[in-house]
Structure 1
Amino acid sequence: MSASLLMPAPMSTTDAVDGSMTSTMSPIDGSGDVWNHERAVSSRVRYTASHGTGSLMPRRYRPAGDRVGVRFPGIAAVARGFEPESSTHARRSTPIDRAERSHRREATSPHRNEGSPVYRSLARWSFQHGLFVLIAWVIALVGVNAAAGAIGAGFSGEFSTPESESSTGFEVLNANFPGAGSAFGGSLVFMADGGVDRTDVVDGMTGYFEEIDAIDGVSVVSPYEPLGQGQIAPDGGIAFAQLNLDSDVDQTRAAVIAEEIREMTPDIDGVTVEIGGAIFAEFEPPESELIGLAFAVVILIVSFGSVMAMGLPIGVALAGVGTGGFGAVSLLSNAVSIPDWAPFIGVMIGLGVGIDYVLFMVTRYRELTRQGSSPLEATMGALDTSGRAVVFAGVTVVLSLLGMLVIGLGFVSGLGIAAATTVAVTLIASITLLPALLGLFHSKVEVTRWRGLLTAGFVALALLGLGLGLPTLASIGGVLALATLVASLFLRPLRRVVPNRRERPLRETTSYRWSRVIQSRPWTFVFLGGGALVLLMLPVFSLRLGFSDEGNLSETTSARRAYDLIAEGFGPGFNGPFLLTVEPGSPADLGLIGAIPEALAADPGVDRVGPPFPSDPADPAASDAFLIQIIPTTSPQDAVTEETVARLRAEVVPSVIDGSTITANLTGAVPANIDFTDYLGGRLLVFFGAVLGVSFLLLTMVFRSVLVPLKAVLMNVLSIASAYGIVVAIFQWGWLSGVFGVEPAPIEPFVPMMLFAIVFGLSMDYEVFLLSRVKEEFDRTGDSANSVADGLAATARVISAAAAIMVVVFGAFLLEDDRIVKLFGVGLAVAVLLDATLVRMLLVPATMELLGARNWWIPRWLDRVLPRLNVEGPAHVEIAEPADELTGEVSEEREPVDA
């Protein structure tokens, strides 16, 4: 019989007054001295408030019935003595036992227990030089944005697909038809009462076109000149002039040109003028992020009851987004092809991850200060634990976004660089500015006065009013916030401290009980949760990638009105004409060129075809190239248009030029979009596989497990696929399209890639934060079931609050007019919601219960080969005052331990 079973269990008594608990016999030294909590703390014996006195034992001891109690609770109730971990058993070792032993070794390994001097030194320096760090960030914020304003931005929406027929056609256009080589030209559409051939209309519009033609980088094809034949509608009421931009004109310059054109618009009776074209489309800076911030304020206040704990995440996130999301990205746009709406996608992502990252660290800081650490010790401990997970998650997001560079397309690379820059700067702010602010405010993080609470609420009201475009509501909120601060100078009740809420022991929380319910029926909940995700992902199998056209813009925009006028006067195909470049190889080919328009016009997908236009109108026979304009019968985003392009390229044109030396390339904005979509769609699976593989490897290095990373990857794929399914149902199928203010259209081809990179990185954040706590409990107790429940209970509130903030920040972008911004908002909000609910709160505890200790199994050879990544930090930073497992009461006496 083990000697530990002969040793009397420590007899405990509980003081009826203060709930403090002492033991009359010490199983550690057998001296009979009173075991009190101060001695346990001063001896650096680890304990956790939710686990009672069993966790007070030194690491070389553990409850004898702990492992057995998982399978035989009755035996565990009797065997409450202590036995050395080195004691042997007669039965054969199982994979579960080997996993337990492996991770008990891991728990005591120096790789786990040693803190990082880098994190702690960074936290100490920032904490002690808080004012300097704060001033440095203010200078960076102002300086970067001032530089961006002085230098100017160079946003560009033009893209080309390497080695595609459309890109080759654009090269021919640029060489032989200057001004027609931009895929993102536009049109100036006008409608006149009484017809566009009225004398005053002809004179006024002709002069207008001449003024526009004088703008640098713009050329105009007027409907009143021979080259513009066919640009007047059959009924004579609507006409358009083609606006061709030089190939080096970017979106920033195009926006300036559009403004100049609007200012030149003549005032002619009965004439309406609209500017069409994607590059001329107005993009208003979104204000919906203010709505997200308003709800973030409320969520943080309700969740944590502290104004300062609310203000720190929001303030740090705004500093990071303001510096990286706007200033830095604007400067980068001069060197990289970045669309003008990319900064706002970066802001959406940066606000979400920035608030989350700081929230995780502030939560750990508050835990440590409540356990007796000084503000400096708590700051170093928070950065050395939660800060590690934050850096790991942030770097994962950045790498995932930068992985888009391997696609080899400037447009996609620019999107990835813009988003990655915003996340990287926000991450740097989280690990430098936060410790600095904690050094400035110290213990004020835990103190909330009624004036602060009320002021925060009124500020949230003001932000909501600004985001909704309700100036009256914004003014009321601002005035009330200011009045509250002034009134607090005279009213003592407003200066009183709001009582802190009593923290319940983990095993009395709803999250713990929820986890135990899930674990009691794991198979049931695996099928329910997995079935729900599979059901939601079904629409993804009908995903159609492609570019939506201007018909999806808001009806309040000039580009949308121009689109509708052209469709009304000429037909939907006029909004997306094709251009066929024809290069004769010999004089004998000139006769065949005349036959091409006839063959094209016979195709059922073609509405009309223009005559071949030579590059040298003075001597057509000496021309190096000819240009033929083709008008399809369907709109640019219609699936039939894609079929028409494929048919013209594969059948119609080759049937005419086969056997000749003619080179023909079908190009234009619509064929270029189709080529881009095909190129990107063919590389999506490669990109997904690379991100999944790297993520699996990183998680394996972190958790020293094979099944946990595999399970995490599969669940993340399920949640992301489910988000894709909902996006397809709303934006492609048109379900609830009226509610969301969108029209059914294909999904932009770069959206699934960016959503995958962002969401997978964010889910890694939650994964690491949750599983690191679960693994910590398992390393300490060897109890797989309780470690899952305890880890979930310890992280549920902060994960729920972080997810809720992301959902409202992302979801608020549904109020924007731009379809792409809405698409990102819905996709990100749904993905985070599913990940934080169905995955983290249901599938994770259920699957981990089924796997048991096998969760932490890893082949020995793999364990030796893989490098170690420690995102949990040192094991001794948790210095919680012990509490009774049933009552949760804590001794008033505490002795802080260095973190």
Structure 2
Amino acid sequence: MATVLAGVLGAGAGDRMGSGGLTDPDAPSVQAQRILAGRFDAGDPQLVLLAEAPGSVDEPGAVAAGTALTDRVRGITGVRGVDSYWSPGRPESLRSEDGRVGLLLLRLDGDEDAAEAVAARVVDQAGGKRDGLTVRVTGAAQLDREVDAQAEKDLTRAELLTAPLTLLILVLVFGSAVAAGLPLLAGIVSIVGTLAVLRAITAVTDVSVFSLNLTTALGLGLAIDYSLFLITRYREELRAGRTVNDAIAVAMHTAGRTVLFSAVTVALALSALLVFPGYFLRSFAYAGIAVALLTAVVALVVLPALLAVAGHRINGLDLRGLLRRRRTTATRDWAQEGRWHRLAMAVMRRPILFTLATVALLTGLATPFAGVEFGINDHRTLPQASAGYQASEQLRTRFDSRETTATPIVLDGRVNDAALSDYAATVSLLPHVTRVDTALGSYARGKLVAPQSDASARFRAEDGSAWLSTVSDVEPISADGTALVERVRNLDSPALVLVGGDSATLVDTRDSIGERLPWAALIVIAATALLLFALTGSVLIPLQAIALSVISLTATFGAMVYIFQDGHLRGLVGDFTPTGWVDVTAPVLMFCVAYGLAMDYQVFLLSRIKEEYDHSGDNTQAVALGLERTGRLVTAAAVLIAVVLGALAISGITYLKMLGVGLTLAVLVDAFIVRALLMPALMRLFGDANWWAPDWLRRIHDRLGLRH
């Protein structure tokens, strides 16, 4: 009943979500855009219409059609203002270099959601073939619409792909169709519950539509992980001769406790995203915390009830005849026959060699990250076949990019003409600046080169404040572009300076993330260190775990640059458009999600090693037995969650594709290299020191920590 109610509440959650939220709402660049729109009725248009004529846009037929198109879009509800090539004055910057395309720049009312609704009306009423003109639509509102639609399409496709493939792998892992079905059921319940939570959150704050994709992938992946460990331990206890109730009790006391620790660890890792001001990153925290905790509740409350109902029928519908082999396996000497035990012992016989080799390999994989360049997503995050992508490419290639990417500078305060003239002349002398348009005319090379005209009045407000349009010869998303913003902000000015545009947005987003990144790292590291100390009573093991989890991310960061910045391996991961940079938010998001997943496996493995060490007091044997009894499960869980996360890699949105490829690689590297090789090598090198803690911490752990 609760699941049905959650399904009803969560239905349509995606319709209330946005695709923005990358920037700090209080950043100077955002303030500049807000003032430009509210005070000057200027700034970046939310929609851009490219109207292409068969010949010149100045031919009588094209002029008549363009004028009619301009009047039509002005009358669409939600359109606040229109600057058109076919307006009086025929601004040259709104005509393509070949003279066949004219632009209409639309400013819209309302927030992002309202703008997307207006964009839909504009496309319906003005797009396509119109009186001999071919009208294409782009701009932030239209691109957001297409991103939302593509994300929803990708989500459906990922679900259709992962569900049957995951079920097949679960059947191969468990052998029993009954046991294989329970993790999928747990995943569905946790996903539905999380959607209801996200739907409730949208009532009080903005949520990114991309969080839906993480909800599905992480919900299913964690549900499989947690169910896999609980069901495996339950079946192990049944094979040892325990009753159904006793087997459930032991499984809950051991694997269940580990599930709780793991869920809290994942939730804390993702909670670090809450320190960032943009709702894009915060949305992943909402989704991640909700899905981790709800999945734990399902695993610890719903799953035991299902196991009690299933009883010994948990092994029913044995599709591969594995039950007999597993019963035989359960009675063998784990220490002598297990392949994971043999691997662990082989590694621990040469710990220095394996440590150096794995660290060298991971360092090599991380090397491309040294050349990372940061940027912000543009239309190229969409598939090349999308209408918004094609229209944006037309805008980029057929118009003078210097005019279409001019940087606005707001002087927020009363500025007299003399001060404005001096300031504009100074800005025009900056490197790469070719022209500065103001209320007094246009400046270049420190001098007034064109007097004011009728169009100059738009640069001055009634309160005496002003803004300048700075035309430069640099790409906005580049080192030169961001350097220009910094130079402008460092100039002496007659009023408060607020710089807008893409370059300023990148600078502000990068600075905002950089300022808060230490706090996010502190939250993640401190929380996981405390949890692992409570689990193990050791000082060294939490430090090792944190270091190993960070190391497991190195391949992910290297792959982000090698594949998505530099454009390699497109035939392998699916076609996309390289931009020459990585989105500035991607490493932060990737770190928090991948760190949480890496620590997830760390908790399962350490819990079993600790259990064996408490029984035997032999560090080497505990590591070997712990790896033997969890190695197959961790590997299976890693493969399963890699399948689920890998489904993001088929997305048509480059950002989601990068997230899918990076997280899949992080999970596989962590399970097959870090946990299987590097971790046992390090634990062998440190020996019994792994379990050391000073007396005062030992006493705290004895009183407050958890014991097997």
Q: Do both proteins adopt the same fold according to a TM-score greater than 0.5, normalized to the shorter chain?
A: yes
Cα distance change on mapping 1:422 and 1:170 into 2, 3 Å = same
Change (3 A) 1:300 1:813: same
| Alignment match, 2:10 | 145
Alpha-carbon deviation of 1:829? Answer: 0.9
Quick one: distance in 2 between partners of 1:635 and 1:573? 8
Instruction: Trace 1:38-49 onto structure 2 (pairs within 5 A).
Output: none
The equivalent of 2:449 in structure 1 is: none
> Match of 1:628, SS?
strand
Deviation at 1:175, TM superposition (A): 4.1
Q: Relative to 1, partners in 2 of residues 1:328 and 1:870: Cα closer, same or farther, differing over 3 Å?
A: same
Work out the CA distance in 2 between the residues paired with 1:500 and 1:432: 30
Alpha-carbon distance in structure 2 between the residues aligned to 1:710 and 1:773:
18
CA–CA distance in structure 1, aligned partners of residues 214 and 468 of structure 2: 38
| C-alpha deviation, 1:194, in angstroms | 0.5
| In structure 1, C-alpha distance between the alignment counterparts of 2:295 and 2:11, rounded to whole Å | 19
Q: CA RMSD in A?
A: 2.9
- Residue matched to 1:60: none
- 1:158 positional shift: 4.2
Show CA shifts across 1:147-176 (max 9, x none). Answer: 748xx5143614553664324423432441
Of 608, 622, 635, the residue aligned with 1:800 is 635
Offset of 1:791 from its aligned partner?
Answer: 0.7
**Structure 2 residue aligned with 1:501:** 325
Tell me the residue number matched to 1:398.
Answer: 267
| Residue of structure 1 in register with 2:223 after alignment | 354
**Aligned counterpart for 1:850 among listed residues 660, 672, 685:** 685
2:54 counterpart of 1:193: yes
Corresponding residue for 1:382?
251
Superposed displacement of residue 221, structure 1: 2.0
1:406-425 to 2 correspondence within 5 Å?
406-425=275-294
Q: Tell me: CA distance 1:303–1:800, structure 2 relative to 1, closer, same or farther (3 Å).
A: same
**Number of the residue aligned with 1:169:** 32
Deviation at 1:518, TM superposition (A): 0.7
The answer as to whether partners of 1:190 and 1:238 remain within 8 angstroms in 2 is yes
- Deviation per CA, 1:713-755, whole angstroms, max 9, x where unpaired? 1111111233212212222233324543231432222222222
1:788 and 2:623 matched? yes
Counterpart contact for 1:346–1:423, Cα < 8 Å: no
Alignment of 1:378-777 (within 5 A): 378-450=247-319, 500-502=324-326, 503-504=328-329, 505=332, 506=334, 507-573=336-402, 576-583=405-412, 585-586=414-415, 589-594=416-421, 600-601=427-428, 603-606=430-433, 609-612=436-439, 617=457, 622-651=462-491, 654=492, 657=493, 661-737=494-570, 739-740=572-573, 741-742=575-576, 743-777=578-612
Which one is further off, 311-320 or 205-214?
Answer: 205-214
Higher mean alpha-carbon deviation, 435-444 vs 848-857, is at: 435-444
Aligned residue identity for 1:703: T
Question: How far apart in 1 are the matches of 2:462 and 2:205?
Answer: 39
Q: Select the residue among 184, 193, 199 that pairs with 1:323.
A: 193
Distance 1:732 1:634 in 2: 19
The alignment partner of 2:102 has SS state of strand
Q: CA offsets per residue over residues 103-146 of structure 1, 9 Å max, x none?
A: xxxxxxxxxxxxxxxxxxxxxxxxxxxxxxxx3323322x2124
Q: CA deviation at 1:790?
A: 0.8
CA distance in 2, matches of 1:228, 1:691: 56
Q: Is the 8 A contact 1:169 1:666 kept in 2?
A: yes
Instruction: Check the 8 A contact 2:439/2:458 in 1, yes or no.
Output: no
- 1:564 maps to amino acid: E
Contact 1:637–1:745 (8 Å) recurs in 2: no
| Alignment CA distance shift 1:294-1:571 (3 Å) | farther
Q: Aligned to 1:501, what secondary structure does the other structure show?
A: helix
- Between the aligned partners of 1:218 and 1:377, the Cα distance in structure 2 is 69
- 1:261 alignment partner, one of 103, 116, 122: 122
Whether the 8 Å contact between 1:292 and 1:810 is mirrored in structure 2 is no
Instruction: Check if 1:276 corresponds to 2:111.
Output: no
Structure 2 Cα separation of the partners of residues 227 and 365 of structure 1: 79
Cα drift, residue 449 of structure 1: 4.8
Following the alignment from structure 1 to structure 2, what is the Cα–Cα distance between the partners of residues 719 and 541? 17
**Cα displacement (A) at 1:342:** 2.2
Give the secondary-structure state (helix, strand or coil) at the position aligned to 2:375. Answer: coil
- How far apart, CA to CA, are the structure 1 residues paired with 2:165 and 2:675? 23
Partners of 2:700 and 2:291 in 1: CA distance: 34
Q: Is the 8 A contact 1:321 1:350 kept in 2?
A: yes
Distance 1:269 1:379 in 2: 73
1:201–1:268: 8 Å Cα contact kept in structure 2? no
Q: In the aligned structure 2, how far is the partner of 1:836 from the partner of 1:567?
A: 44
Q: Deviations over 1:621-663 (max 9, x none)?
A: 8553223333443444333322232233335xx4xx4xxx333
Counterpart CA distance in 1 for 2:552 and 2:64 is 60
For structure 1, which runs of at least 5 residues remain unmatched after alignment? 1-134, 454-496, 876-899
| Structure with the bigger percentage of helix | 2
- Structure 2 distance, partners of 1:328, 1:637, is 36
Give the direction of change, closer, same or farther, for the CA distance of 1:522–1:269 in structure 2 (3 Å limit). Answer: same
Structure 1 counterpart SS, 2:583: coil
Aligned pair count?
677
Confirm or deny: 8 A CA contact 1:221 1:227 kept in the other structure: no
- The whole-number CA distance in structure 2 between the counterparts of 1:716 and 1:869 is 26
Q: 1:320 offset after TM fit, Å?
A: 1.2
Identity among equivalent pairs (%)? 29
Work out whether residues 436 and 470 of structure 2, in 8 Å CA contact, stay in contact via their aligned partners in 1: yes
CA shift, 1:859, in A, is 0.9
Q: Deviations over 1:550-598 (max 9, x none)?
A: 1342111122112111112114455544212234535xx2134346555
Following the alignment from structure 2 to structure 1, what is the Cα–Cα distance between the partners of residues 637 and 261?
17
* C-alpha distance 228-843 of structure 1, shift in aligned 2 (>3 A): farther
SS of the residue aligned with 1:189? Answer: strand
Matched-pair contact (CA < 8 Å) for 1:615–1:626: no
Give the residue type in structure 2 aligned to 1:811. Answer: G
Please say if residues 119 and 141 of structure 2, whose CA atoms lie closer than 8 Å, have aligned partners that are also in contact. Answer: no
Amino acid at match of 1:290: L
Contact 2:265 2:527 in 1 (8 A): no
C-alpha distance in structure 2 between counterparts of 1:221 and 1:813, whole Å: 39
- The answer to whether structure 1 residue 302 and structure 2 residue 137 are counterparts is no
Contact preservation (8 Å) 2:23, 2:277 = no
Tell me the residue number matched to 1:208: 69
**Which letter maps to 1:145?**
G
For 2:215 and 2:404, locate their aligned partners in 1 and report how far apart those are by CA, in whole Å. Answer: 31
Shift of 1:381: 2.8
Cα contact 2:208–2:279 (8 A) shared by 1: no
Q: Which has the higher contact order (CA 8 A, sep 6+)?
A: 1
What is the CA distance between 1:705 and its match in structure 2? Answer: 0.7
CA distance in 2: counterparts of 1:198 and 1:843, whole angstroms: 72
Whether 2:664 is the aligned partner of 1:829: answer: yes
Residue in 2 aligned with 1:343? 212
Greater gyration radius: 1
Deviation of the 1:800 alpha carbon = 0.3
